[in-house]
Amino acid sequence: MSNLVKKFQQYSEWRSGVISSLHRYRAWTHAADTSDAVTEQRITHLLEKLTDDKLTIAFVAEFSRGKSELINAIFFADYGQRILPSAAGRTTMCPTELLYDETFPPSIRLLPIETRAESQTTSEFKTQNQVWTVLPLDIQSADGMLEAFKQVSMTKHVSVAEAKSYGLYDEDDPDSALELNELGLVEISQWRHAIINFPHPLLKDGLIIVDTPGLNAIGTEPELTLNLIPNAHAVLFILAADTGVTKSDIDVWRNHIGAGPGRMVILNKIDSMWDELRSEAEVEEQIKHQITSAAHLLSLQENQIFPVSAQKGLVAKIHGDAPLLVKSRLLKLEHALSNELIPSKQEIIRSQLNKDIHSLLQVQHTLMGARHRGVFEQMSELKSLRGKNKKVIEHMMRRVEIEKQEFDQSLMKLQGTRAVFTRLSTEVFTSLGMDILKEEVRHTRDAMENCKLSSGLVAAVHEFFSRTKRNLAMSNQKTNEIFEMMSIMYKKFSTEHGLALATPMPFSLDKYRAELEAVESIFQQQFGVVTLLTNSRVALMQKFFDSIANRVKQCFLSANRDVEAWQKAIMAPLEAQIHEHKSQLKNRMQSIQRIHMATDSLEDKIMSFEVMQSDLEGLKNGLAELEAEIMTALSGTLGKIPVAA
């Protein structure tokens, strides 16, 4: 079992531990009768986030850099042969995702290249099963799998006009004529996108591997540029030791990948430098020279470049050749992936969960505190009646009645606040709703179609980003108004009625603005006014806008879901406390009335409250134990796996 598999299994076990703790917490809320629709929704959301958690690793390289061989060496050596096609020249012709979805049988889903002539994006086609060609995958046969996987390397020849309609032929490029065969046809990929559904242990635990075609596809397939590569948790950029860093390598690194968390550079094919006529020191010096050169050209530290021989590493794993495996340096790369990438991913998920879990627990602690305080006050009130006459009891009844009337008056005022809350909530979605975004997309498409100049096309897209960011800012302003209003209401009920309400949970749409700016930056890098001079570039930009519109749509859908969840969450503590306080006032009145009418004895009533107090102490202790369990599970760290020699 490889280091990467071990580390990912540790990560999966950590995730399962947190899920189990949350299930026990949910059971406790039901037993304590403190659950409600909002609490259920929030717990469900946390569980879904953990269950659906994925780790995406994208492999990016020019053709013949050994990218598919590296994937074989890291993930599929246990099959005793290559699974992904790997040979000289281009083997991966279309973007390929390797994942596991238990709702589908093992299979390869292939999106025909003809779909590039339509305005829909690959992401949109993923929901349309009838469009895809589906081939079964026999996971019991390595040969059968290899044969099926060869589909990603299939090509066909089409006319220039057809290739242009797909955005795969640039007639203004002086080198385009070299792409034509003797019949004047262009060779293109048979498929636009491939999804391989495969029950590999890592894939079953949530890993997604993205295998990209050559670097030229980075600029022509919007799904790669706007979605798969930017959203990948790790991008492995593969160079070849025998060629070094080429100009196209530098362009793609600077414009589409760049240094940052989860970005790694692999210097593959170091075995091309192994030479029986050179000493080991001389070979090592050559490799070090290539590392230094690559680090300089890509503006990286030398320890961020990982020299490997994927081919020798695969052979070594298949044949059990430990010395060759060490010499291939593949284990060092796997160590870096397992001990750096996966813990970083864990920290991202942990930080996302921490705030929500603390908020959930705080609501329950507050409710338990209010319930415990109410029981204590009622018990103290009843104890004070010992030896008192009916007039004193009547006085206490009037006092509780006055308190109830004052609370009811506050609730009447709260109705006005609820009306404002509803109005502001509606206004949030006025500028954040999908209808207004749909209109912005339609308006931009119309503007692009009516533009005669390339500068007008670029301006239309930039105006689209300006308007969507402005709409986002307007919605953010409304959420700020809701927060300020609810802060005042929390403080009012805390001060006037003794409700234990902390400051409500704030909210911001800033992360979605940052996401829009990231997409806009990709567009700006891809299409500048200076380069946008050819008809093919204009057609390509229109295809990119389709993907931009879909990416912004997904951004707004996420923002809508988050706002809806926050609006329910910000009201939940106040609603829960109001319900609890009303229940306590009602119980106090009924208790005093029964004692006044002598329907039961005072001592029996005091005793029943003492039992309630004891039960509440047990619930509070149970909550404290659950909180400690959840926090322990959440804060768990992944064990270190020793680096190979």
* Full DSSP string of 506-520: P---HHHHHHHHHHH
State which of 537, 561, 582 marks the end of a domain.
Answer: 582
> Tell me, what DSSP letter sits at residue 597?
T
Separation of alpha carbons 413 and 485, rounded Å: 13
Over the stretch 182-217, which tens digit does the pLDDT of each residue have? 888 888 889 999 999 988 878 888 889 998 887 666
59 and 184 both lie in a single domain: no
Q: Are residues 218 and 296 in the same domain?
A: yes
In a domain, 253, yes or no: yes
Is residue 448 a part of any domain in this protein? yes
**Number of C-beta neighbours around residue 435 at 10 A:** 9
Q: Which residues of the chain have pLDDT under 70?
A: 1-2, 86-91, 172-178, 215-220, 259, 385-394, 452-454, 500, 528-537, 594-602, 639-645
- The structure tokens 């061989």 sit at 69
Q: Do 300 and 449 belong together in one domain?
A: no
Do 480 and 575 belong to one domain?
A: yes
Q: Are residues 163 and 225 in the same domain?
A: no
| Final residue before a domain boundary, out of 530, 561, 582 | 582
Q: Is residue 560 part of a domain?
A: yes
184 and 215 assigned to the same domain = no
The predicted structure's pLDDT at residue 599: 47
Backbone angles phi, psi at 318, to 5 degrees: -65, -40
DSSP three-state, residue 114: helix
Strands (E), 269-398: 305-307
How many domains are contained in the chain? 3
Q: Do 431 and 450 reside in the same domain of the chain?
A: yes
- The range of the structural domain enclosing residue 509 comes to 423-582
Asked if residue 551 and residue 434 are part of one domain, the reply reads yes
Burial of 556 (0-12, 13-18, 19+ CB in 10 A): buried
Evaluate whether residue 92 is within a structural domain.
yes
* Exposure string over 28-59, b if 16+ CB within 10 A, otherwise e: bbeebebbeebbeebbeebeeebeebebbbbb
67-75 and 310-319 helices, crossing angle to 10° = 30
With respect to residue 285, please indicate whether it lies within any of the assigned structural domains: yes
Per-residue confidence (pLDDT) for residue 21, from 0 to 100 = 93
Q: How crowded is residue 356: how many other Cβ atoms within 10 Å of its Cβ?
A: 17
CB 266 within 8 A of CB 236: yes
467 is a domain residue: yes
Q: Which residues pair with 265 in a beta bridge?
A: 237, 305
* CA atoms of 498 and 479, how far apart (whole Å): 27
State the sign of the Cα–Cα–Cα–Cα dihedral 149, 150, 156, 161. Answer: positive
- Whether 185 maps to a domain, the answer reads yes
CB atoms within 10 A of CB 440: 19
**DSSP-assigned letter for residue 494:** H
pLDDT, position 529 = 53
C-alpha neighbours within 13 Å on the C-beta side of residue 354: 10
Beta-strand runs (E) in 215-279: 234-240, 263-268
Kindly state whether residues 93 and 200 are assigned to the same domain: yes
Residue pair 222/193 in contact by the 8 Å Cβ criterion: no
- Tell me, what's the pLDDT at 645? 45
Regarding whether 302 and 255 lie in a shared domain, the answer is yes
Q: Which residues pair with 331 in a beta bridge?
A: none
Domain boundary among the residues 565, 582, 599 is at 582
CA–CA–CA angle 45, 47, 52 (5° rounding) = 95
Residue 449 sits in the same domain as residue 477: yes
- The answer to whether residue 133 is domain-embedded is no
- For residue 235, the domain's CATH number is 3.40.50.300
Are 454 and 319 within one domain?
Answer: no
